[in-house]
Amino acid sequence: MYKYDEYDQSIVDARVEEFRDQCQRRLSGELSEDQFKPLRLMNGLYLQLHAYMLRVAVPYGTLNARQMRMLAHVARKYDRGYGHFTTRQNIQYNWIKLEDAADILAELATVEMHAIQTSGNCIRNISSDQFAGAAADEVTDPRPFAELLRQWSTFHPEFTYLPRKFKIAVIAADEDRAAMRLHDIGLQLLERDGVLGAKVFVGGGMGRTPMIAPEIKDFIPADQLMSYLEACLRVYNRYGRRDNIYKARIKILIHELGADKYRAEVEEEFEQVRQLGIDPPAAELARISAMFAAPAFAASDGAVADRSDPGFAVWLDQNVRAHKQPGHAIVTISLKPIGGIPGDASAEQIDVMADLAERYSFDELRVTHAQNIVLPHVRVADLKAVWEALSEAGLADANLDLISDIIACPGLDYCALANARSIPLAQKIGQRFADLDRQRDLGELKLKISGCINACGHHHAGHIGILGVDRKGTENYQLLLGGSGAEDVSLGKITGPGFDEDGVVDAIERVTDTYVRIRETGERFVDTYRRVGMQPFKEAIYG
Amino acid sequence: MRLVTGNDLATGDVVWWTGRDWSRHIADASDAGERAEAIAREEEAARRVNVPYVIEASETPDGPRPAHIKDRIRALGPTVRPDLTLKPADALAGDWVI
């Protein structure tokens, strides 16, 4: 894992003290809310329905046990005993007091964490593949590049006041586990003729105008990547609209300019930028990469998990993935218990996960964009012990990628922007499909719920998506089918008129019943949808 | 009736204008009538609460009930965590929101 150097630590510490002063000036009345709001947002502090909310960055979703324990400590000492893991691989606390905010950031800084770039019109926390460094299908570990991007983007003076927020994802495998093409910039690292580089996609996103990022550069060598991205951002900074917040994202610029024109502008800018020498020397990438070196894996002892316990066997099949290192496995801990709140974990559960990471996963954890937690490097021989500990902590749900593994935004229960509640709906759907055999028969089915058009719950990318809207003061839910955030990326289509909360649960069941009736061997739900189209599902829903 | 609400500056708690001060409990809220916008402006200028605003509510035997679900959730707390609402002992308190 990356370790802060003196420079990293000093800028984070300095930011904490600066924010402490800003908070004190706000509390004393010296600053108005209008003056203070942009300052607090630059430090991840929002004002939500019930209280201030603090969003803490987990760079590219990677953290160690010490950092995880700090997250539990913050939940316990400053919040109400829990945290909410988000679709941006971050964590949010819902009950923060302004008078505590600087102290929290100071405590986080002691474990090399902060809340910088979790809000505002800057380059946000870089996201990545939660299986980085463990997946057999990656060409390289994407995290050193994500870390380089973090350093490049942190407090970048030119990109602190972009037209709108800007999200970058980095992956290094053909399987896209990070919704890469639904980011403002998506990078897929790959090798060509023995040279490491990246395919660059620009202009994706969800929100009110969902778009899949078009390919802007087929291949840029890694040693020119930073210059190329600088050019991408500069063109956006120059031409992106600042007059209309709804048209300010880079996806709108590229849509209006056209990908070819945008690409030409970037190429022209790139020729200038590459002369500036901003690409880091190879030694710097090597220095960072060394911090992400593979752990000292033991040679495989040939252990095979004992499947005699049916509960354990199901969990193995559903939540455990192959590791690139023989004798090891990747464990995903589901934060989606039936009837629970997607992404929430109590301080005690966070501590348990930290302990397990320290003991069984080379001190590493990952946060996934699907609001789950990963132990990336578990010995096969230890899987049973991990499962038993997770079971004791209420963290052993074997539902990864099944219909109850729901992504849901906080919705109207917490969020000031939401139009409808997301969490109660996720709970009802989970309860309707609680039978695990039924879920497994339905197979991979990604269900995603957003409580408003901003799409924090990724509803456009759900095999089944749900969008909560406000219809004359009451909650109403639109149903979408056919989206995907994976390598088969697609945007869901609305089925028709919306439903109330119970109505949409019934509609989903009619959709899954239809799928079961018409699916062909080996087809996932989304495959069947793509084969037959909307009509059979529409008929089942609306008659 | 017309209520003035906002979030307490220091704690972020949802607060309601009582006629003289701010309370965390909507039952204490008073009808601000035509003075509502002026109260919101004055209180914002005094920097005691964040972004105070005016809402419509109805008078009921149980106290004021905001017209919009968002403000009913603000008045109670998250419907999915009854233990964290202002009525943690009342498991059915969320019904008031709907």
Pairing of strands A474-481, A493-494: antiparallel
Question: Do A314 and A271 fall within a single domain?
Answer: no
Q: Within a domain: residue A221? A: yes
Q: Within a domain: residue A103? A: yes
> Side chain identity at A516, as an amino acid letter?
V
Question: Do A388 and A457 fall within a single domain?
Answer: no
Cβ(A303)–Cβ(A327) below 8 Å: yes
Structural domain boundaries enclosing A216: 142-290
CB spacing of A97 vs B67 below 8 angstroms:
no
Mean pLDDT, all residues of chain A:
97
Question: Do A82 and A164 fall within a single domain?
Answer: no
pLDDT-derived band at A310 (thresholds 50, 70, 90) equals: very high
d(CA A404, CA A398) in angstroms, rounded, equals 10
pLDDT for B98 beyond 90: no
Question: Do A522 and A430 fall within a single domain?
Answer: yes
CB spacing of B79 vs A421 below 8 angstroms:
yes
| Model confidence, pTM | 0.97
In CATH, what number is assigned to the domain containing residue A512? 3.30.413.10
Tens of pLDDT, residue by residue over B25-84, are 999 999 999 999 999 999 999 988 999 999 999 999 989 999 999 999 999 999 999 999
Cβ(A449)–Cβ(A406) below 8 Å: yes
Q: Within a domain: residue A129? A: no
Tell me the ipTM for this assembly: 0.96
| Candidate from B9, B74, B81 with C-beta closest to A98 | B9
pLDDT for A439 beyond 90: yes
Question: Do A267 and A152 fall within a single domain?
Answer: yes
Contacts with A413 from chain B: Cβ below 8 Å = 73, 78-81
Smallest Cα distance from B32 to chain A, Å:
22
Question: Do A424 and A519 fall within a single domain?
Answer: yes
Question: Do A411 and A512 fall within a single domain?
Answer: yes
d(CA B50, CA B43) in angstroms, rounded, equals 9
Question: Do A187 and A278 fall within a single domain?
Answer: yes
B73, closest residue in chain A (CA to CA): A413
In CATH, what number is assigned to the domain containing residue A352? 3.30.70.3340
Last residue of a domain, one of A237, A260, A290: A290
Cβ(A265)–Cβ(A273) below 8 Å: no
CB spacing of A50 vs B13 below 8 angstroms:
yes
pLDDT-derived band at A300 (thresholds 50, 70, 90) equals: confident
Q: How high is the pLDDT of residue B93?
A: 85
Q: Which residues contact A38 (CB under 8 A, 6 or more apart)?
A: A120
CB spacing of B69 vs A474 below 8 angstroms:
yes
The angle formed by the CA atoms of residues A13, A14 and A18, to the nearest 5 degrees, is 120
Cβ(A54)–Cβ(A71) below 8 Å: no
| Candidate from B44, B68, B78 with C-beta closest to A50 | B78
Contacts with A51 from chain B: Cβ below 8 Å = 7, 11-13
Helix (H) or strand (E) holding A93: strand A91-96
Question: Do A315 and A281 fall within a single domain?
Answer: no
CA separation, residue B89 to residues A25, A49, A361, A424 (Å): 38, 21, 41, 20
Kindly state whether A452 is in contact with chain B, defined as any CB-CB distance less than 8 angstroms: no
Domain count, chain A: 4
B10, closest residue in chain A (CA to CA): A98
Q: Sort A532 into a burial class: Cβ within 10 Å, 0-12 / 13-18 / 19+.
A: middle
Q: Within a domain: residue A136? A: no
In CATH, what number is assigned to the domain containing residue A102? 3.90.480.20
Q: Within a domain: residue A400? A: no
